Structure 1
Amino acid sequence: MSSAGRDSANANERLMTSASISNVSIAESMDRMPPGPSDTVLWQTIRFRRGRQHYLPEMHDRYGDVVTLRVVPGGPFVILRNPEHIKEVFRGAPEIFHAGEGNSLLVPIVGRHSVLTLDAPEHKPARKRMMPPFHHERIAALTSTMREIAEQEARSWPIGTSVRLLDRAYALTLDIMVRVVFGVDDLQRAAQLSRALRQVSDIGLSDILVWIRPELGKVWPWRNVVRNLEHADELIYAEIARRRKDPERSLRTDVLSMLLEDEPNDEVVRDEVMTLLVAGHETTAVALAWLFERLLRHPDVLARVREGIDQPKDAYRTAVFKEALRVRPVIHNVARRLTEPIELGGYRLPAGVAVLPSVGAVQSDPRLWGADAKEFRPERWLEGTPPQNAWIPFGGGVRRCLGAMFAQIEVETVLAGVLRAVELKAVDPGDEGSAMNHITMIPKRGARVSVVRRLGS
């Protein structure tokens, strides 16, 4: 089979797999489910899909820490705010709490071999295989490249002109992905791969329909979604083949080269690098945008961060990173689908139900964080121990994001690099609202900034 034929077959197979996984049958006996709204399934679905940052805290305030939502596809969902309940989920047996099924809609992009879509017992060896590139020493060796990319990007921004920092963060983190993760040095190939990966990651809510109904892939506009994925696959497989033939591959420090050392199956490697794209590119870009959105509206915090930008590690910069992700979480919930009935929070939950720790709700709960829970105050991270299981932007347990340290180092490195290169100000002085985009919560106006002046050039 030709490369293009293989890519098409793989894409179509992943679409069919996603469709079959999403049709999980739920036990007819719902036992004693937690309380929840009596609104129609359609209305609950619309509110959850388009505004969960407001909807979930509202439902918790109305019904308590354990709430049932009837949402399609994949529902009913049991939403959790209590840290003790969240701990039970994260520490629960992987054979019972299936995160892979909770991520089943991602199968068409990340594939069947992704740590995001696998469940026990296949998940553990797959995760172990992906861990070596994320050892702290290996990530630290890549920071100089990240810093160079960040400073070069920031110095390209025009002085006095409004810039959507979210768009620039997408471009910047994708550049890091192509050069640091894929290790593509050729500028033309890097640009081509960047464009293809951006098209794949730029999936709208209506595009997801083709993952649920694969037959839509034959008609416009969903045909373009499938074609974009096939094109990206073709380029990724070409990079894999090129790297396998590289006689100096063992000396390279990029993630792709490291993954190839122990994995002979090209499809597995393809799924692993696509996982890094989905889990590490868009989420990191959004985190960066929110970080700058918060910083530029808190000049005292910004001034203190600037004091430490020449330090490789700065405790206050890390505190700012953590606080930004607390008050502006990129992902508002994670999911586990039950394979067996369980007792949780005083309720008997049947097999097939998805339980969702509510990231945004637990991270803004004043019972845990105090009366100033919604305020951006990085000093709280230097004053004492934060509440356990109440800061979960990377999930938890055996499914905690394995790229969490990579993301933190990347964000802190890029932040320092940009601040070395330019002085910025927010275009709009007021706090920026949020909006759903794919699975992430983005600044509603794109975190618009303008460059006051360039520094050090």
Structure 2
Amino acid sequence: MNSGGRDNASANERLRTSASISQVSIEGGMDRMPPGPSDSVLSQTIRFRRGRQHYLPQMHDRYGDIVTLRVAPGGPFVILRNPEHIKEVFRGAPEVFHAGEGNSLLVPIVGRHSVLTLDAPEHKPARKRIMPPFHHDRIAALVSTMRDIAEQEARSWPVGEPVRLLDRAYALTLEIMVRVVFGVDDVRRAAELSRALRQVSDIGLSDILVWIRPGLGKVWPWRNVVRNLEHADALMYEEIARRRRDPDSSSRTDVLSMLLEDEPDDEVVRDEVMTLLVAGHETTAVALGWLFERLLRHPRVLARVREGIDEPKDAYRTAVFKEALRVRPVIHNVARRLTEPIELGGYRLSAGVAVLPSVGAVQCDPRLWGADAKEFRPERWLEGTPPQNAWIPFGGGVRRCVGAMFAQVEVETVMAGVLRAVELEAVDPADEGSAMNHITMIPKQGTRVRVVRRLAP
């Protein structure tokens, strides 16, 4: 068992690992690659990194369902919109379709033992190890705590003043993460850990450069990125050590305590917990931001949600959750790196190429969803079976997000809790635009809302 993180990988070491994985060589022929734009790698990279929510659908409309982009680092990328092609990727052999390499840029944060960055054969046992805390009965036991946190948060918002709901969603989901997942019940430690984790997860586009070129970590401003990682690591290892010394740890129900029961290596536990932060904090907060952005601009939908607000389970509330993620996906693509050549869609793709199912494009394709594909209409989820492999906000196959059910329960619980505590309205009547924030697409104005009145408990 590691002690206090002294022998564990540092942020600098993880940066070097990420950089080495990102340098991919392309093997084999390139004579049958799909079509794509002819502008420079720099131009394609900027457009992809800063605005893929617009760029990818445009490229599909111009070149078809399977498109080649030259993007640095790690390109070329082959972008997929056809559900049949996406199914082939999700059902492909894990030894051929490496998702861990596609997520290599996350190594500095989530570490080398993360289910996000591991590939076959190491991925399967790591996924099995992290699944028990996400069993349905364990999640159900956490609902009342999530609800209380959501209601308390919403009742703290000022009446009549604009609030950036996305900012409050970040704080709210982080509190749920620290209290429910990490199990930190000391107010001071929880606040300190929350601040450190928020600094780590709040990564801008320029910060990613230090993940690609670790040497930048010695100079400002990237030096701060490395320091934030090291500080979060120190706090995390302190919490792990404290929990291991706790004689009552085995009776606790938080995720961290469950992980510690079966895993003697502190570094592995650290990486698993940080994975939950990356996969379950920011993405869930952004999903909440988009859900309320859509909900408050559709009074009919909002009224129907309120009708079932006191029901423990409500099919329409679930439909709203799914529809919000469909029309406003948090992540616009997932990635698999090929370890050997394959045939896909009539093209030969070489080993080293990354294939990226295009989440945003397939989820709003009118050929699959009808003429109203871009409209926010939750009723479509109650009218029949959605197109297969066309709703993929949590990925698919053996790499489908292990915390998908947790995220759904959290979002639906927070939605109901907020609406039970306050009556909201959108500050601006027009739809909010979108902006890329690292790998997520966020509401450009942060989901500006106003509390009309507080509701009685």
TM over 0.5: yes
Matched residue of 2:381: which SS? helix
Deviation at 1:412, TM superposition (A): 0.2
One-letter code aligned to 2:285: A
What is the aligned partner in structure 1 of residue 281 from structure 2?
281
Corresponding position of 1:215: 215
Shift of 1:248: 1.2
CA RMSD of superposed structures (Å): 1.1
Matched, 1:229 2:229: yes
Rounded Cα–Cα distance in structure 1 between residues aligned with 2:318 and 2:266: 37
Provide the residue aligned with 1:241 in structure 2. 241
Displaced runs of 4+ in structure 1, greater than 6 A?
none
Aligned twin of 1:394:
394
* 2:3–2:241 contact (8 Å) kept in structure 1: no
Which amino acid is the alignment partner of residue 427 of structure 2?
A: V
- Output the CA distance in 2 between the equivalents of 1:288 and 1:83: 26
Q: How does 1:48-447 map to 2 (within 5 A)?
A: 48-447=48-447
Write the distance in 1 (CA, Å) between the matches of 2:34 and 2:27.
Answer: 16
Residue 280 of structure 1 deviates from its aligned partner by 0.4
Q: Is the 8 A contact 2:4 2:241 kept in 1?
A: no
Deviation, 1:92, is 0.1
Q: Is the 8 A contact 1:293 1:426 kept in 2?
A: yes
> 1:251, CA displacement in angstroms?
1.3
Distance in 2 of aligned mates of 1:140 and 1:456: 25
Q: Secondary structure at the match of 1:436?
A: strand
Tell me which amino acid in the other structure corresponds to 2:448: R
Structure 2, unaligned runs of 5 or more = none
Structure 1 residue 4 displacement after superposition: 7.6
**Is this contact kept in 1: 2:65–2:81, CA < 8 A?**
yes
Q: Quote the Cα distance in structure 2 between the aligned partners of 1:319 and 1:5.
A: 47
Q: 1:247 offset after TM fit, Å?
A: 1.2
Question: How far apart are 1:108 and its partner, in Å?
Answer: 0.4
Deviations 1:358-411 (A, max 9, x none): 000000000000000000000000000000000000000000000000000000
Q: CA–CA distance in 2 between the matches of 1:378 and 1:316?
A: 7
Aligned partner of residue 281 in structure 1, secondary structure: helix
> Amino acid of the residue matched to residue 229 of structure 2?
L
Alpha-carbon contact 2:5-2:267 (below 8 Å) kept: no
Paired residue total: 456
- Tell me the TM-score normalised to structure 2 length: 0.99
> Secondary structure of the equivalent of 1:68?
strand
Structure 1: gaps of 5 or more residues: none
Q: CA deviation at 1:249?
A: 1.2
**Secondary structure of residue in 1 paired with 2:171:** helix
CA contact (8 A) 1:196 1:232 kept: yes
Q: What CA distance in whole angstroms lies between the structure 2 residues aligned with 1:123 and 1:10?
A: 22
Cα offset, 1:11, TM superposition: 1.2
Q: How big is the shift at 1:31? A: 2.6
Deviation at 1:209, TM superposition (A): 0.8
Q: Is the 8 A contact 2:5 2:237 kept in 1?
A: no
Does 2:43 match 1:43?
yes
How far, CA to CA, are the matches of 1:299 and 1:182 in structure 2?
A: 37
What TM-score do you get using the length of structure 1 for normalisation? Answer: 0.99
Secondary structure in structure 1 of the residue aligned to 2:10: helix
Structure 1 distance, partners of 2:212, 2:118, is: 18
Checking the alignment, whether the CA contact within 8 Å between 1:78 and 1:356 is kept in structure 2 is yes
Alpha-carbon distance between aligned partners in 2 of 1:306 and 1:233, rounded to the nearest angstrom? 42
Tell me the distance in 2 between the aligned counterparts of 1:6 and 1:423.
Answer: 51
User: What is the CA–CA distance in structure 2 between the aligned matches of 1:203 and 1:4, rounded to whole Å?
Assistant: 23
- Cα distance between partner residues in 2 of 1:46 and 1:6: 38
- Encode CA deviations 1:329-377: one digit per residue, 9 max, x unaligned: 0000000000000000000000000000000000000000000000000
1:247-280, Cα deviation, whole Å (9 max, x unpaired): 1112111000011111000000000000000000
Deviations 1:219-274 (A, max 9, x none): 11111000000000000001111111111112111000011111000000000000
CA contact (8 A) 1:4 1:230 kept: no
Provide the secondary structure at the position in 2 that maps to 1:379: helix
Letter in 2 for 1:191: A
**C-alpha distance in 2, partners of 1:2/1:153?**
36
Distance 2:445 2:7 in 1: 40
Aligned-pair identity in percent equals 88
CA contact (8 A) 1:31 1:350 kept: no
| Shift in Å, 1:44 | 0.7
Q: Is the 8 A contact 1:333 1:357 kept in 2?
A: yes
